Amino acid sequence: MTYYFSKTLPVSFDEAVRRITEALKKEGFGIIMEIDVKQTLKAKIGVDFRNYRILGACNPKLAYEALQLENKIGTMLPCNVVVQESGPSQTEIAAMILLHPCRQSITHGSCRRRSVFKCCCGRSSRHCKSAVR
């Protein structure tokens, strides 16, 4: 089972970070934390690594709604979005696929039950994939 969806863009790493941050902002999400994995690995264990950043995106209204319905949902907050260099002027953006309570992937639209368990922008993954064009 695939646990994420991703899109590779023909842009620089910095441009991809800018685009996904802007797309998330348009959907009401702010970046509340940022982990520069390349810099952290170099500082902590002295290894070189490709450009790789984890963005913690949060929509306070959706987070509040989710926490009211499921008190353990905090284990999945904020919504992590990975931006990683995948080649010269090639950058991949990836986010986790979440499931409805009936265990149907929200990206396939199989389940019609209302749920707070939505992808990072609260819409279908088809929307998310197009948001980072």
**What CATH code is carried by the domain that includes residue 84?**
3.30.310.70
pTM, entire model: 0.74
Q: What is the pLDDT of residue 66?
A: 87
- Summary count for the chain: helices (H), strands (E): 4, 5
DSSP state of 115: -
Is 91 domain-assigned? Answer: yes
Per-residue pLDDT at 30 exceeds 80: yes
- Closest C-alpha among 68, 63, 58 to residue 27: 58
Count the domains in the chain.
Answer: 1
Is 112 domain-assigned? Answer: yes
Is 10 domain-assigned? Answer: yes
Is 133 domain-assigned? Answer: no
Beta partners for 7? 93
Q: Which three-class secondary structure state does DSSP give residue 81?
A: strand
Give the pLDDT band of residue 108 (cuts 50, 70, 90). very low
Is 36 domain-assigned? Answer: yes
Look up the domain containing 9 and give its range. Answer: 4-126
Is 73 domain-assigned? Answer: yes
Quick one: 60 exposed, middle or buried, by C-beta within 10 A (0-12, 13-18, 19+)? exposed
Is 9 domain-assigned? Answer: yes
Inter-residue contact 81 to 20 (CB < 8 Å)? yes
Mean predicted confidence (pLDDT) in 59-83: 92
Mean predicted confidence (pLDDT) in 80-95: 96
Is 132 domain-assigned? Answer: no
Per-residue pLDDT at 124 exceeds 70: no
